[in-house]
């Protein structure tokens, strides 16, 4: 794994109710493709980017869950997220990363920008209208 140049702070968006000190680890199903067990844990240096990930995870959850954003720190090396870097966006403007090592929760963040109801409906239509296997390849 090549070292990314970013130094943080870093954020993770999810529907999990976590506490400071909790570790998030790879080895669980993807929020976007539940048929794929993830080999990495993902995070970003953009607070609102993590908010978008949390909102999308909540939309795709089989039960009603609240989107949550956490300030996190990697416990090991990390690299640019190949699912967005150069594949979808040249360079890494989303400042998205992944690690095969756990990330540690520092604190919950509550001042992230929520999607408007219109934007959320557009994402809902795009995501829930597709079966999981059609939501795009994940470079795992």
Classify 1 as helix, strand or coil.
coil
Nearest to 139 by CA among 43, 45, 38: 38
Cα–Cα distance measured from residue 12 to residue 21, given in angstroms and rounded to the nearest whole number: 14
Task: Walk along the chain (140 residues) and give the pLDDT tens digit of each residue.
Answer: 444 567 889 999 999 999 999 999 999 988 777 788 989 999 999 999 899 889 888 887 878 889 999 999 999 999 988 877 665 556 677 788 999 999 999 999 999 988 888 887 787 676 666 565 554 555 66
What gap in Å lies between CA 80 and CA 114, rounded to an integer? Answer: 25
DSSP string for residues in 42-109: EEES-HHHHHHHHHHHHHHSSS----EEEEEEESS--EE-TTTBTTTBSS-TT-EEEESS-EEEEEEE
């Amino acid at each position: 794994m090549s070292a990314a140049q970013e130094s943080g702070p870093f954020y993770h968006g999810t529907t999990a109710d976590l506490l400071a000190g909790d570790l998030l680890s790879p080895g669980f199903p993807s929020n976007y493709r539940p048929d794929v067990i993830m080999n990495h844990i993902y995070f970003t240096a953009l607070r609102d980017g993590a908010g978008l990930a949390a909102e999308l995870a909540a939309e795709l959850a089989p039960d009603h869950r609240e989107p949550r954003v956490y300030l996190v720190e990697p416990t090991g090396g990390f690299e640019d997220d190949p699912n967005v870097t150069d594949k979808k966006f040249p360079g890494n403007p989303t400042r998205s990363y992944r690690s095969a090592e756990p990330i540690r929760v520092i604190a919950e963040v509550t001042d992230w920008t929520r999607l408007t109801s219109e934007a959320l409906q557009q994402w809902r239509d795009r995501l829930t209208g597709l079966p999981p296997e059609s939501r795009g390849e994940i470079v795992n």
